[in-house]
Amino acid sequence: MMRNLVLKNEPRLRPDSDGFALLRRRLCEANVANDEFDADYARLADVLGAVLERIQTEFGDVVERVLAVGDWAHHGIDLRHLPYDEVVVHIVLRSDERPFDLYMQIADKVFSELSDKDIFVQFDLETLPEWQHTESIAHDTEHEDALGIPLLSR
Going along the chain from its start, the domains and CATH numbers come out as 14-153 (3.30.460.10)
Cβ contacts of 95 within 8 Å, gap of 6 or more = 2, 3, 4, 5, 62, 127, 128
Reported as a pLDDT band with limits 50, 70 and 90, residue 10 is confident
Check residue 24 and give its pLDDT.
97
Q: Tell me the pTM.
A: 0.90
> Could you report the per-residue pLDDT of 12-33, keeping only the tens digit for each?
999 999 999 999 999 999 999 9
Residue 105 phi, psi (nearest 5):
-65, -45
Check residue 145 and give its pLDDT.
86
75 compared with 115, residue with greater pLDDT? 75
Could you tell me how many residues make up the chain?
A: 154
Residue 17 phi, psi (nearest 5):
-65, -35
Mean pLDDT of the chain: 92
